[in-house]
Amino acid sequence: MRAESLVSTDAQQQILAGRTLLLIVGGGVAAYKSLDLVRRLRERGARVRTVLTAAAARFVTPLSFASLSGERVFDDLFSLTDEQEMGHIRLSREADLVVVAPATAHLLARMASGQADDLATTLLLATDKRVLVAPAMNVRMWLHPATRRNIAQLRDDGVLFVGPEEGEMACGEFGPGRMSEPLAIVAAIAAALPGAGRQSLAGRHVVVTSGPTREPIDPARYLSNRSSGKQGHAIAAAAARAGARVTLVSGPVEIDDPPGVETRHVETALQMLAAVEAALPADLFIGAAAVADWRAEPAPDKIKKRPGGAPPSLVLSENPDILARVARRESARPTLVVGFAAETRDMIANAEEKLARKGCDLIVANDVSAAAGVFGGDANEVHLVGPDGVESWPRLDKSDVAARLVARLAERLSQAECAR
Ligand code: C5P
């Protein structure tokens, strides 16, 4: 079964129904997928107004978009003839979100440099709405320093991204550059729409752990791991946007504290446990930290290297399992306890084992093998492993994973309370 087909559409439907989207189609072979995107958005009750660049109109016809969207399609001729009828400001003002799919390297470059040399780029420059782009291009173009610069600039400008995916491309090459599938774009649109699930956690207290822990060996050295904290911090930020009071217990990370979140900084697993326990009670606990399994008894002074001497041996003792402790609490157990499973093999089986052993309600499993590029990267591909099965999500930006996870947990929280 394809991952996307497992994604429930209920929440998306609620968010998308009655919304107006301005879809800008760039000139790439992936433009044909945007026809399906329009169909999927309409199925969920959204209104889609389409603008084609001149290059896009060479790949797909305006008539196809007009038929599928049930709306007039706009292209460059529009700006010359119909400006009276509907100005470009109105076109972008009436949209809840602007979506660019496919976003070619050329279109991204024009967006990054603020050009307004056709209707599409004029709309993009004139809009005051959020912009979500789904890039699609040859792998070398995607990896080119000029494109990297443009992407960094656009991210800085607040533009949101979905994809591209890695895979076989129309040009026969393999690598990142393929436009995300329509259902992944639909999910990103639902997460990006202003107000999407905004108050779904109002009145709730959410405790999140994030980042690595650092276990000292002596005053100068420590044991730690590669966790960047990006996913946990994104979850804390998304929960705050959803209206929750959020306590984030963070190990040492290089990223900023998320806005609107009360962040407690800790170093060791023992400190993390103490901070989590002090933060309870909570409605929701999300253990996204990569807690060190073991700690050393730190030497009071720096361990010296002696010429010809044997290397020191470390005596390790096991750290408490914070997740299991929270999940197995007799008093003040959060209604939902969610853990993460970073695996390099047998991901689902290991996650199922962890779910049972730790007594939590859901495990978010992800592949952290070097090939997946999750540690430190901006994207994540997760599987939600619960007592009633596994739900796999497509590869998404960590912020999109966070928004979707928060929306899903808010639903589950309400369901769990109704069932009590
Ligand atoms: O057993 P493993 O470390 O793979 O489990 C990962 C999950 O357990 C994560 O949610 C992590 O935050 C949590 N954990 C914890 N305390 C530990 C070890 C893991 O809370 N000592």
Number of domains in the chain: 2
List all residues 6 or more positions away from 362 whose beta carbon is below 8 Å from its beta carbon. Answer: 336, 337, 338, 339, 355, 384, 385, 386, 409, 412
> Are 220 and 318 members of one domain?
yes
What length is written for the chain?
420
> Are 66 and 180 members of one domain?
yes
134 lines ligand 1 (CB under 6 A): no
> Are 39 and 158 members of one domain?
yes
Enter the DSSP assignment of 258.
P
Please calculate the CA angle 190-374-365 and round it to the nearest 5 degrees: 70
Q: Is residue 303 assigned to a domain?
A: no
> Are 16 and 126 members of one domain?
yes
State how far the Cα of 245 lies from the Cα of 262, in Å rounded to an integer. 8
Q: Is residue 255 assigned to a domain?
A: yes
Q: Is residue 151 assigned to a domain?
A: yes
Q: How many other C-beta atoms are found inside a 10 Å radius of the C-beta of residue 242?
A: 22
Q: What is the largest CA-CA distance in the chain?
A: 87
Distance 283 CA to ligand 1 centre (A): 19
319 CA: nearest ligand 1 atom: 21
| Mean pLDDT score, 70-78 | 82
> Are 185 and 240 members of one domain?
no
Say yes or no to pLDDT of 145 above 70: yes
> Are 233 and 175 members of one domain?
no
Long-range contacts of 257-265 (CB under 8 A, 24+ apart): 257/233, 258/233, 258/234, 261/236, 261/237, 263/236
Enter the DSSP assignment of 21.
E
> Are 328 and 386 members of one domain?
yes
Tokens of 134: 């789904």
| Beta-bridge partner residues of 247 | 207, 262
323 lines ligand 1 (CB under 6 A): yes
> Are 30 and 151 members of one domain?
yes
269 lines ligand 1 (CB under 6 A): yes
Q: What percent of the chain has pLDDT over 90?
A: 66
State how far the Cα of 298 lies from the Cα of 345, in Å rounded to an integer. 32
341 lines ligand 1 (CB under 6 A): yes
Q: Is residue 270 assigned to a domain?
A: yes
**Which of 161, 200, 192 lies closest to 395 in space, CA to CA?**
161
Q: Is residue 304 assigned to a domain?
A: no
Distance 315 CA to ligand 1 centre (A): 21
pLDDT at position 190 = 87
340 lines ligand 1 (CB under 6 A): yes
Distance 342 CA to ligand 1 centre (A): 9
209 CA: nearest ligand 1 atom: 12
Distance 203 CA to ligand 1 centre (A): 27
For 137-272, strand residue ranges (E) read 160-161, 165-168, 174-178, 205-210, 215-216, 222-223, 245-250, 262-265
Tokens of 407: 């929306």
More confident residue, 385 or 1: 385
Work out the burial of residue 329: count CB atoms within 10 Å of its CB; fewer than 13 is exposed, 13-18 middle, 19 or more buried: middle
pLDDT at position 156 = 85
209 lines ligand 1 (CB under 6 A): yes
Domain's final residue, options 169, 192, 215? 192
Domain's final residue, options 192, 226, 244? 192
The closest residue, in CA terms, to atom 13 on ligand 1 is: 323
> Are 178 and 209 members of one domain?
no
* Phi, psi of 175, deg, nearest 5: 150, -175
- The model's pLDDT over 346-360, given as tens digits with 9 standing for 90+, comes to 999 999 999 999 999
358 CA: nearest ligand 1 atom: 8
Say yes or no to pLDDT of 77 above 80: no
The identity of residue 54, as a single letter, is A
- The model's pLDDT over 225-276, given as tens digits with 9 standing for 90+, comes to 999 999 999 999 999 888 899 999 999 999 999 878 899 999 999 999 999 9
| Mean pLDDT score, 41-58 | 94
What's the whole-number average pLDDT of the chain?
89
Q: Is residue 9 assigned to a domain?
A: yes
The CATH number for 351's domain is 3.40.50.10300
287 lines ligand 1 (CB under 6 A): yes
Helix 398-419 vs helix 182-192: angle between axes, to the nearest 10 degrees? 70
- Among 207, 323, 360, 368, name the best residue to mutate to test ligand 1's pocket (greatest count of ligand atoms within 8 A of Cβ): 323
Strands 222-223 and 215-216: antiparallel
**Which of 252, 251, 152, 237 lies closest to 201 in space, CA to CA?**
237
Distance 292 CA to ligand 1 centre (A): 8
Tokens of 42: 């309409």
Distance 220 CA to ligand 1 centre (A): 25
Strands 389-392 and 382-386: antiparallel
| Mean pLDDT score, 63-83 | 80
Q: Is residue 276 assigned to a domain?
A: yes
**Which of 189, 194, 22, 41 lies closest to 91 in space, CA to CA?**
22
| Beta-bridge partner residues of 124 | none
pLDDT level of residue 4 (50, 70, 90 thresholds): very low
342 CA: nearest ligand 1 atom: 4
> Are 378 and 357 members of one domain?
yes
Residue 295: in which H helix or E strand, if any? strand 294-296
Domain's final residue, options 166, 192, 218? 192
Three-class DSSP category at 318: strand
Distance 340 CA to ligand 1 centre (A): 7
- Among 210, 223, 321, name the best residue to mutate to test ligand 1's pocket (greatest count of ligand atoms within 8 A of Cβ): 321
- The model's pLDDT over 199-218, given as tens digits with 9 standing for 90+, comes to 789 899 999 999 999 999 99
364 CA: nearest ligand 1 atom: 10
The CATH number for 99's domain is 3.40.50.1950
Q: Is residue 307 assigned to a domain?
A: no
Active site residues: 171
> Are 223 and 162 members of one domain?
no
> Are 76 and 118 members of one domain?
yes
Q: Residue 10 is part of which domain span? A: 3-192
First to last CA, the chain: 33
pLDDT at position 330 = 95
